[in-house]
C-alpha cells in the first residue's frame, strides 16, 4: 500500500488526478473496480453532491445533488457508520431517481459504499462500482476499507486546507472591524448562484465537479481586499470621487496580496486549487470588453471562474436592498444581466445559465434571506 498512499496523499495535482492515480494502483490488485466516486455532504442543506470520481468504464455522473434524508439506505449508513454491499444492483435498486436511472444505464452490476467522517461529522460517501456481479467479496471489502481510509485522508485534508483559508479571511475581516454591505447571507447567496452557473457551463469547458465545488467554496472570498479600504470610502452612501474610486478599486490587489500571504509560497504544489481562488479575487471586476479593473482584461483573458463570480455577485447586488437602493425584482435583474452581456461586459453563457434556473434562484433567495435590519 505504500505506493498507493504516495499516489493519493501527494499534493501534486488535483484531487481528481490523485484519485485516478490511486485507482490505477488499485486495479493492479483488484481489477474489477470500474469506478470510484466521492460525494460530499453539506449539512446546512442536507445535500449530497457529486464531487470527484475516477471512471474507467461507463460515463461519470456530474452536477448532481440530492437530499440525504430522502435516501433511506444512505441515511442509515451515515447514522450507523456501516458500509453497504450490493451484489446485484439491478435486483437491489428499485428507485426511479436520477441517480438510480443513471446507475442502471451504465451497466454496473455490483457496488460497495462507505460513509466517511471528520471529527464524527459526515463528510460524504465513497462509492466503488463494478461491471461484474458479486465483485465485492469479503476479501475485496477488507482491501477496499484501506483504500477508503486513504481517500478520506485526501478529501478531508484538502477541505481542511480550504477551511483554513476561509477561516483566516473571516478572522482578518473581524480583526479589522470591516463594516460593509456584504452580509453573511449575501455571501451564501452568491456562492450558491456561482455554483448554479458553474454546474451549467462546466460541460462546455470539460470541467468537473471538483471545479464547481472550488467555485462554491471560494466565491465568498472575492472581496476580501476590502478589509484594507477605509470605512469613510467603503461605507460612503453617495457617489465616490475619482480619488476615492481609485482607492476602492485597489481592494482587488490588496485581496490578492492577502491571499498570497495566507497561502504562502509554492501554493500550487500544496494547494492545487489556489489558482482558482486567486483568479476569482484578482479578476472578478474585469469586464469582457476591457472596461473592468484592475487590468482591463478582455474576453478569454479573464478566467472562467472570475466570469462566473462576476455574474453571481452583480445579480445578488441588484436583487438585494441597500441603504441607497431598493432590491430589484428578479425579472428586472435578469434583464439587466442580459443587457450587460449584450454590451459585451458579462459572459453571455454565464448569464443564461443563471437566468435559465430562475426557480432555483428563488429558492436560494428564500433560504438565505437577509435578517431584518441587516442592511
Mean pLDDT, 10 residues at a time, the chain of 375 residues: 50 83 93 96 94 93 93 93 93 81 90 93 96 96 91 88 75 54 76 96 94 92 87 82 93 91 64 85 97 96 98 94 82 98 98 97 91 54
Listed in sequence order, the residues at least 6 apart from 257 whose beta carbon sits closer than 8 Å to its beta carbon are: 225
Q: How far apart are CA 22 and CA 55, in angstroms?
A: 12
Containing 86, the helix (H) or strand (E) segment is: strand 84-86
State residue 323's pLDDT score: 67
Q: With H, G, I as helix, E, B as strand and everything else as coil, classify residue 91.
A: helix
Beta bridge partners of 121: 118
> All 3 cell numbers of residue 117?
467522517
State residue 115's pLDDT score: 96
Is 325 an active-site residue?
no
Marked catalytic residue, from 49, 200, 226, 345: 226
Domain ranges in the chain?
2-157, 176-367
Q: How far apart are CA 322 and CA 180, in angstroms?
A: 10
Per residue, the 3-state secondary structure of 144-155, as one string, reads HHHHHHHHHHHH
State residue 180's pLDDT score: 53
Architecture of the 176-367 domain: Orthogonal Bundle (1.10)
Q: Tell me yes or no: is domain 2-157 CATH 3.90.245.10.
A: no
State residue 305's pLDDT score: 98
Containing 122, the helix (H) or strand (E) segment is: strand 121-130
Please give the model's pTM, rounded to 2 decimal places.
0.86
State residue 1's pLDDT score: 45
Strand-by-strand arrangement of the 121-130 sheet: 65-67, 47-55, 35-42, 121-130, 110-118, 84-86
Amino acid at each position: 500500500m505504500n505506493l498507493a498512499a504516495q499516489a493519493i496523499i501527494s499534493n501534486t495535482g488535483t484531487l481528481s488526478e490523485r484519485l485516478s492515480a490511486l485507482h490505477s494502483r488499485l486495479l493492479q490488485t483488484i481489477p474489477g473496480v470500474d469506478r470510484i466516486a466521492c460525494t460530499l455532504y453539506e449539512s446546512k442543506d442536507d445535500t449530497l453532491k457529486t464531487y470527484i470520481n475516477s471512471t474507467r468504464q461507463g460515463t461519470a455522473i456530474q452536477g448532481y445533488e440530492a437530499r440525504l434524508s430522502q435516501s433511506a439506505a444512505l441515511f442509515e449508513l451515515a447514522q450507523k457508520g456501516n458500509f453497504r454491499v450490493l451484489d446485484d444492483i439491478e435486483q437491489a435498486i428499485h428507485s426511479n431517481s436520477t441517480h438510480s436511472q443513471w446507475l442502471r444505464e451504465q451497466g454496473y452490476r455490483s457496488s460497495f459504499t462507505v460513509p466517511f467522517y471528520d471529527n464524527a461529522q459526515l463528510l460524504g460517501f465513497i462509492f466503488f462500482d463494478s461491471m461484474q456481479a458479486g465483485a465485492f467479496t469479503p476479501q475485496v471489502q477488507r482491501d477496499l476499507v484501506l483504500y477508503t481510509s486513504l481517500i478520506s485522508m485526501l478529501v478531508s485534508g484538502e477541505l481542511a486546507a480550504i477551511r483554513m483559508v476561509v477561516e483566516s479571511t473571516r478572522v482578518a475581516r473581524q480583526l479589522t472591524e470591516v463594516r460593509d454591505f456584504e452580509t453573511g447571507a449575501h455571501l451564501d447567496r452568491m456562492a450558491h448562484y456561482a455554483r448554479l452557473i458553474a454546474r451549467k457551463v462546466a460541460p462546455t469547458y470539460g470541467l468537473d465537479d471538483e471545479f464547481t465545488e472550488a467555485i462554491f467554496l471560494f466565491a465568498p472570498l472575492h472581496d476580501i481586499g476590502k478589509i484594507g479600504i477605509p470605512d469613510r470610502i467603503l461605507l460612503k452612501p453617495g457617489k465616490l470621487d475619482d480619488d476615492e474610486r481609485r482607492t476602492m478599486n485597489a481592494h482587488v490587489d490588496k485581496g490578492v496580496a492577502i491571499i498570497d500571504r495566507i497561502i504562502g509560497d509554492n501554493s500550487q504544489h500544496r494547494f492545487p486549487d489556489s489558482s482558482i481562488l486567486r483568479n476569482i479575487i484578482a479578476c472578478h471586476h474585469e469586464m469582457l470588453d476591457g472596461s473592468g479593473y484592475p487590468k482591463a482584461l478582455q474576453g478569454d483573458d479573464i478566467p472562467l471562474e472570475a466570469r462566473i463570480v462576476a455574474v453571481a455577485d452583480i445579480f445578488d447586488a441588484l436583487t438585494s436592498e441597500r441603504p441607497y437602493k431598493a432590491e430589484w425584482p428578479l425579472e428586472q435583474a435578469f434583464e439587466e444581466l442580459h443587457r450587460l452581456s449584450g454590451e459585451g461586459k458579462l459572459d453571455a453563457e454565464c448569464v443564461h445559465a443563471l437566468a435559465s434556473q430562475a426557480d432555483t434562484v428563488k429558492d436560494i433567495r428564500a433560504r438565505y434571506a437577509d435578517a431584518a435590519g441587516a442592511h
